[in-house]
Structure 1
Amino acid sequence: MAQRDQTTRMCALTRAEKPVAELIRFVLGPDGVLVPDTEAKAEGRGVWISLSHDAVAEAVKKKVFGRSLKTEVGLPEDLPGLTELRLVQRYLGALSMAKKAGQFVSGAMKVRGLLETGNLIALITATDASADGRSKMVGPWKALHHAAREEGISGFDVPHFELLSSEQLGLALGLENVIHAALTKGAAAQAAVEKARRLALYTAKPTDEGTGRHAVDGDLLPNGQV
C-alpha cells in the first residue's frame, strides 16, 4: 500500500496531484462507454478523478471525461452510482477472501474478545446495528487506542468501518446476522481494509445528526469510518 500511496496522478477535475489511493481511474470500454477501473489495471488511456461521489458527479456535469480523452465518450446513466457499486463489490469480495483465509471474525462475543486483546486490524459494524450494540463495541475500540497512546505506541491505527447493512454483509459472506465483525492480521485482511478505506472515502458525507453514526467526540469523519 505504501508504494501505491507514493504514486501520484492528476485529478482531471481539480488538476490537483494526489496519491492514486485518493483517486479512481476511468477508461473507455470496447463499446465506447466509460467504466470505472477500480483496480487501475485496465489497458488504454485512463482519466483519474478524486475518489469522491461528488467529484465524479461534477466531472460528468462538466464533461471532463470527453475533454481529457479527446474523443466522444458514452456515459452510463448513473456513473457515480455505478462507481460506488463497483467499490462495494470489491470490498465484499475482499471480505470474502479474508474469511476464506481465516482472517475474518464475526459475532459480538468473538469481536469483543479481539478488542480486549488488540488482536485485530479493523472493526466492522453493520449500518443497521442497534445503538446499544454499537456502543458496546465502540467503547472498547476507543479504549484500545487510548491505551496505545498511553504506552507511547506511534502509528497505532485500528479503523472502524460502518459501510454496509447486515443483509449486504451476510449475503456476500454466506452468513446470517452479520452485525459485528473484525479483521485479523494477514494479507487478505489488509487488502479488505484498503478496499474499505476507498469505499469510505468515496461515500464521505456530513454526519447525520439523527443517528450520530459518523462522528466521534464531535469531529466529522468520512462516512462509514469513525
Structure 2
Amino acid sequence: MRNPRNEPLGEPDTAGAADPASGPERRCVLTGRTGSRDEFVRLAVSPDGDVLPDALARAPGRGAWIGVGRAELQAAIDNGKLKGALARAFKGGALAIPADLAEKTENALRKAFADRLGLEMRAGRLILGSDRIANEARMGKVAALYHAADASDDGSRKLDQAWRVGQDAEGSGLCGLRLPLDRAALSVALGRDNVVHLALADVRSAERIAVPLQRLLTFLGAVKANEDCGHEAATTE
C-alpha cells in the first residue's frame, strides 16, 4: 500500500520504489530533519520485528528513514535512541535491532552502489580506460566522471582537464568525483582489472547512479556529490 500523499513525513514509510505521489522528502526518525529520499536511508522492519537496512528503499512493509552518518547511527543504537524512536514511530510490537546495524547498513549501501555500476556496465554505458575516457571527454561525450578513492592526483587531474575542455568549461573547477571505493572494489564490482577511472556518456545513467551514490556518501559523512573540484567528496577509505 502506498503512503497517502499528505502523510506526515515522520510516519513509518510503506512505499516501495520511488513514486512521485509519495513525495520527495522524508523525515529522519532520529533528528527530525527532513531531506530528500535520495539522500536518506530507509530501515525496514520485518513482520518479526527485525530492523534491517533497505538500501534500495524498495522492501515491502513498515520502514523508517534516517538521515545521519554511520557514527551517529551507531551512537543511537548504543544509547537506545534508535530503539526508542522506532518504538514511537510504530507504536507497539517488539523490535530487534542488531548491534552491527551500522556496519550492515554501510555494507548494503556499498553493495547497492556497486550493483548499480555493474548494471550500467552490462548495459554498455560505462566508459573505462584512461585513454578512452580522455578522448571521449575532449569530444564532449562524457556526462559524468569518477575516480577511485586511491586514484593518483596526476591521472585524475589530466582526465578532469580533458572533461573541462569537452564541456567548454575551462577555468570552472569542474572535475570528476572521487568515489568512496578503491580500485580493488571497483574492479570486483565491474569484473575488470585495475579500474581506476570511469565515466558515463548517458545522462540518465548518471542520474541512476547518483541515487545509491548519494545515500552512501551521506552515510559516510561525505559532502553532497557534485563535480566541483572545490567540493570533492570525502571518503573513509
State the TM-score, normalized to the length of structure 2.
0.74
Return closer, same or farther for 1:2/1:49 CA change in 2, 3 Å cut-off.
same
Structure 1 outlier segments of 4+, above 6 Å: none
1:23, 1:110 → 2: CA distance? 35
Number of equivalent positions: 209
Q: Which stretch of structure 1 is more off in the superposition, 74-83 or 139-148? A: 139-148
1:11 matched to 2:33? The reply is: no
Which residue identity lines up with residue 87 of structure 2 in the other structure? G
1:102 matched to 2:129? The reply is: no
Q: How does 1:22-61 map to 2 (within 5 A)?
A: 22-50=39-67, 52-60=69-77, 61=79
1:203, 1:188 → 2: CA distance? 23
Return closer, same or farther for 1:69/1:222 CA change in 2, 3 Å cut-off.
farther
SS at match of 1:68: helix
Partner deviation per Cα, 1:160-215 (whole Å, 9 max, x = no partner): 24221111111121100101111220644431232222222221248xxxxxxxx9
SS at match of 2:44: strand
2:46, 2:110 → 1: CA distance? 20
State the TM-score, normalized to the length of structure 1.
0.77
1:165 matched to 2:182? The reply is: yes
8 Å contact from structure 1 (residues 121, 159) kept in 2: no
2:21, 2:211 → 1: CA distance? 11
% same residue? 27
Residue 85 of structure 1, CA deviation: 0.9
1:55, 1:143 → 2: CA distance? 41
Alpha carbon RMSD of aligned pairs, Å?
Answer: 3.1
1:194, 1:5 → 2: CA distance? 17
Q: Which stretch of structure 1 is more off in the superposition, 48-57 or 112-121? A: 48-57
8 Å contact from structure 2 (residues 217, 233) kept in 1: yes
8 Å contact from structure 2 (residues 160, 175) kept in 1: no
Unaligned runs of 5+ in 1: 151-156, 207-214
Which residue of 1 is the match for residue 200 of structure 2? 183
Which residue of 2 is the match for residue 77 of structure 1? 99
Which residue identity lines up with residue 39 of structure 1 in the other structure? L
1:13, 1:44 → 2: CA distance? 20
8 Å contact from structure 2 (residues 179, 233) kept in 1: no
Q: Which stretch of structure 1 is more off in the superposition, 12-21 or 79-88? A: 12-21
Residue 134 of structure 1, CA deviation: 2.2
Which residue identity lines up with residue 97 of structure 2 in the other structure? L
8 Å contact from structure 2 (residues 38, 212) kept in 1: no
1:159, 1:137 → 2: CA distance? 8
Unaligned runs of 5+ in 2: 1-17
1:145, 1:2 → 2: CA distance? 33
Residue 58 of structure 1, CA deviation: 4.1
SS at match of 1:22: coil
8 Å contact from structure 1 (residues 47, 65) kept in 2: yes
Which residue of 1 is the match for residue 9 of structure 2? none
Return closer, same or farther for 1:196/1:114 CA change in 2, 3 Å cut-off.
farther
Residue 139 of structure 1, CA deviation: 3.2
Which residue of 1 is the match for residue 88 of structure 2? 67
1:130 matched to 2:141? The reply is: no
Return closer, same or farther for 1:4/1:80 CA change in 2, 3 Å cut-off.
farther
Alignment partner for residue 112 of structure 2, among 79, 82, 90? 90
